[in-house]
Amino acid sequence: MSYEAGSKECRNLIDAKESLLSAMESLGEIRDTENLQLQIKDIYNTLEKMHDNRRDLESTANNYNLK
Q: Furthest-apart CA pair in the chain: how many Å?
A: 55
Listed residue (21, 16, 4) closest to 50, CA to CA: 16
Predicted confidence at residue 3, as pLDDT, reads 43
Residue 65 has pLDDT above 70, yes or no: no
- Prediction pTM value: 0.78
Give tens-digit pLDDT for 12-62: 999 999 999 999 999 999 999 999 999 999 999 999 999 999 988 888 876
Tally the residues of the chain: 67
Distances (CA, A) of 60 to 5, 18, 64: 10, 26, 6
CA 65 to chain centre: 25
